[in-house]
Each structure stands twice: as C-alpha cells, then as structure tokens.
A = this chain, B = another copy of it.
Amino acid sequence: MNSPPVSELTANAHARRDQGEHDVFVRRLNALYPLQPHESKALETLVDASYAVLPHHDILHEQQPSKEALVLLEGLACHYKVLDSARRQMTGFVLPGDFCDFGFLSSSATRQGVMALGPTLVGRIDLRQLSAVGDKMPNILLAAMRAASVDQACARELVISLGARDALQRLAHFLCEMYHRLRIVGLVGAGAQFELAMTQAELGEALGLSTVHINRTIQQLRKQKLITMSQGLVTILDAAGREAAASFDPRYLRPN
C-alpha cells in the first residue's frame, strides 16, 4: 500500500480516473474558496491530461516559463534549489490538490525547481482555457490566488522554523503542517496516520539539519511518545502534545 511501484500507481490512477482523480484538486480549491456546483464541474474538466513523474525527477525546472498550470494529483513534491556546494535546500512542499507553481498567475518563469519526492501524478491545465473559464467564474481565480497566499504563508512559516526553532521544534512543526494540510484533502487515515514519502536525508534538506541529527531528533519524538515513523508512514500519537512542542498554530493554513 505504501509507495507502490510507479507502474502500479499509474494503473490505479487510470482505473480511478473516472471516479475523480481530479477530485483532490477540486476539493482543495473548494476549501480555499467555496465554489458553486457548476464552477466545481468546470474546474474538473480543466484538468485535461495527467501523467506520472518518477521519484527524484523534476516536475518543473528552474527558469522554465509557464506554458500551463500544473497540479499535483497524487504523491508529494517539493520546491528546491541546488547551491554552489552540492548542497540542496528545499523551500516548500506540494501536496495533492496543490498547484506545483504559481508562476502562471503572473506569467513569470518558475523560480525554483519542483521535484517529485515519491511517485507522483501530475495534472495539466491549459492556461488559455483557464483564463477563459476564469473570466466567467472569478471565484476560481480567487481560489487560486488564495492558494498562492497560503503557499506564501507556508514559506514564511518555514523561515520562522529555520530562523528561530531548534531541531525538535522544527521537525515537530513540519509534521504538524503536513498532518493539517493532508487532512484538508482527506489523506490522513484512521489513527492520525499518513504517508510521507521522504527519507531522513531529505527531511534534513528541508529543515536545514544533517541526516544524523534528523535521525536523533526523530528518536527523541519517539521517546516522548509523540509520533511513530517508519518507512514513509507517520502516526501522530499525541497531537496536542506535538503541537505544543512545536508551538504550532494552524491559522496560517487558513485561506481567508
């Protein structure tokens, strides 16, 4: 169930396509800004082609002008930048239902690479179609702008983590964010369990910590009975405790 081989995943995706693979995306935008039924329907038809991207492959390259809007339908992806020194820093996360990049809103080029972390499924939206629909249904554009606004808030929150929180708080905060964001799109299972397709090394690149230290910090969280975490499956044992440990305030994820 966790991290299936890509072929299988794509097969699943195809099988479920008709029942609404694009559903996540519509659900997400609805949560950002309540849409009318006909708007939701129009939105669904906009996502006209979806394709799989393999782990550790780029969904979008740096400096790539946006000819279309890309939406993540399944899996996990991240914004990142490679530094001079073979070092890499992640700067944001793309979850199912999220736009991969907001360059399309201002016809800007993609500023950073977007990379699949686990196996992912990406949907494509033609910009001409989008702006045509957007003219008639401004709520859709408004929802997209709110998505951008939440994205910005996440980036600023990451700045706070890296600038002012220690390792334990950073990791706890990160897990809180993932939990809340995944829950919005219904990807948190019973017992507050969710999939997180990231290695400890990748967590390090996200949180500005070494792999070794990430490992030790995870053990601390385990010892404190706050989480369970192995091979991409995370379980929240004590949500309140963990949010307190991270001084997590989910308001920044709210759209309005």
Give the B-binding residues of A (Cβ under 8 A).
63, 79, 81, 83-84, 87, 89, 91-92, 102-103, 105-109, 111-112, 142, 145-146, 148-149, 151-153, 155-156, 158-160, 162-165, 207-208, 247, 251-252, 255-256
Query: Smallest distance from the beta carbon of A216 to chain B beta carbons, Å?
Result: 18
**Contact between B207 and A163 (Cβ–Cβ < 8 Å)?**
yes
Complex partner residue of A156 from B111, B149, B255, CB under 8 angstroms: B111
Closest to A207 in B: B163
* A150 smallest CB distance to B (angstroms): 8
Q: Cβ of A79: which chain B residues have Cβ within 8 Å of it?
A: 156
* Set B102, B208, B247, B252: member contacting A163, Cβ < 8 A: B208
How many copies altogether?
2
Shortest Cβ distance from A158 into B: residue = B159
Contact of A106 among B63, B87, B148, B159 (CB under 8 A): B148
Which residues from chain B contact A149 at a C-beta distance below 8 Å?
A: 102-103, 105-106, 108, 111
Known contacts being A102-B152, A152-B155, A156-B92, is A208 close to B162, with CB within 8 Å?
yes
Q: Determine the residue in chain B with the shortest Cβ distance to A153.
A: B111
18 A-B interface contacts by CB (under 8 A): A83-B247, A84-B247, A103-B149, A105-B145, A106-B145, A106-B148, A106-B255, A107-B142, A107-B256, A111-B149, A111-B156, A112-B156, A148-B152, A151-B152, A152-B152, A159-B159, A163-B207, A164-B208
**Known pairs A106-B148, A111-B152, A159-B162 / 8 extra A-B pairs, C-beta < 8 Å:** A84-B247, A87-B164, A109-B256, A111-B252, A148-B152, A152-B152, A155-B159, A163-B208
In the assembled complex, the Cα of A165 lies from the Cα of B84 at a distance in Å of 11
**Measured between alpha carbons, how far is A91 from B152 in the docked complex, in Å?**
11
Tell me which residues across on chain B come within 8 A of A256, comparing CB atoms. Answer: 107-109
A164 touches B111 (CB 8 A): no
CB distance from A206 to the nearest CB of B (A): 8
Please give me the 8 A-B residue pairs with the lowest Cβ-Cβ distance, nearest first: A163-B208, A162-B162, A106-B145, A91-B156, A155-B155, A89-B164, A106-B146, A91-B159
Residues of B within 8 A of A91 (CB): 156, 159-160, 163
Q: How far is the CA of A108 from the CA of B159 in the complex (A)?
A: 20
A146 to B153 CA separation, bound complex (whole angstroms)? 17
Contact for A142 among B106, B152, B159, B251, CB less than 8 A: B106
**Minimum C-beta distance from A109 to chain B (A):** 6
